[in-house]
Amino acid sequence: MQDILEQIIATKHEELALLKAKKTSLREALLQSETGIIAEFKRRSPSKGWIKQEGRADIIPLSYQQNGAAALSILTDEHYFGGSDDFIRQARQRGVTLPILYKNFVIDEAQLYAAALCGASAVLLIAACLTKQECNMLLNKAHSLGLEVLLEMHSEPELEYAELEPDLCGINNRNLGSFVTDVENSFRLAELLPKDAVKVSESGISNPDTVKALRQAGFRGFLIGENFMKTADPGPALNEFISQL
C-alpha cells in the first residue's frame, strides 16, 4: 500500500507544479503592454450598490480580453461586492488566458490557497488591512504558491510597506474609510515609491487623458472597473477607451 501512496503523493507534486506553471505574470503583462489597463469585473460596490447585477463572469472577462485588456481584476468578495471565487474559475473555463488579479480583502493565508486554486495569477494585499509583519508573511506565502502580489497603499505612511518588495506597488485613489476618490493621490505618491517599482494606479480613472498623464508620472498599470461595468457592454467600452489613448 505504501507504494501506491507514494505514487499518489508524487502525482500530487506534479499537479501542484503544473498549477504553479500555469500562472501568467501580471508584472510582465504590464511591462510589455502599451496600455497597461487592468479591466475589472466588479458587479457591486459598498458605496454605490449594484453596478451590473446581471454581469456574467463567463462573458465579460473574456470580452475584456478580446477587446484589448492587458490583464484582469475580478472581485471575489461576496458580501460587499457581489463577487465569488467561482467567477475566476468561470472566466478561465471560458478561455481567459490573461493574468487575473484576485481582488479581495486578504487577511489570512487560507484566502491565498483559494486564489491559487481558482486560477488567479496574483493577489491584492492592502496595507491598510495588515500590519507590516502580516503583510510580509502573506507576501511570502503567496510567492510560495506561485502567486504575484499587488501591494496596495493609499497614504504616505503606508509607503514603507514597499520595502517588502512586492511584485507590483499599487496606489489606491480611493480612501477605503470614506470611499472618497481622488486620482491626484497617485501623482502625489508616485515619486515617493522605489524607482524600480512597477506602479499601478487604482480607482477613479475614467478619462484616457488621465491614463496618459499617469503613464508620464511613471505608472505602468491602470486598474479600471466601474467606468466599464456601468456601460451596457463593458468589453466594447474598453475597446473605445483604448482607441482614445
Using a CB cutoff of 8 Å and minimum separation of 24, what contacts does 227-233 make? 228/39, 228/40, 228/64, 229/40, 229/41, 229/42, 229/43, 229/51, 229/52, 229/55, 229/60, 230/51, 230/52, 233/63
Residue 172 annotated in active site: yes
31, three cell numbers = 511591462
Residue 40 annotated in active site: yes
Residue 140 annotated in active site: no
126 DSSP β-pair partners: 152
For the chain, the distance separating the N- and C-terminal CA atoms, rounded to the nearest angstrom, is 62
Residue 212 annotated in active site: no
Residue 42 annotated in active site: yes
Indicate which residue of 23, 40, 158, 185 is catalytic. Answer: 40
Indicate which residue of 63, 67, 121, 172 is catalytic. Answer: 172
Q: Residues with catalytic annotation? A: 40, 42, 103, 152, 172, 202-203
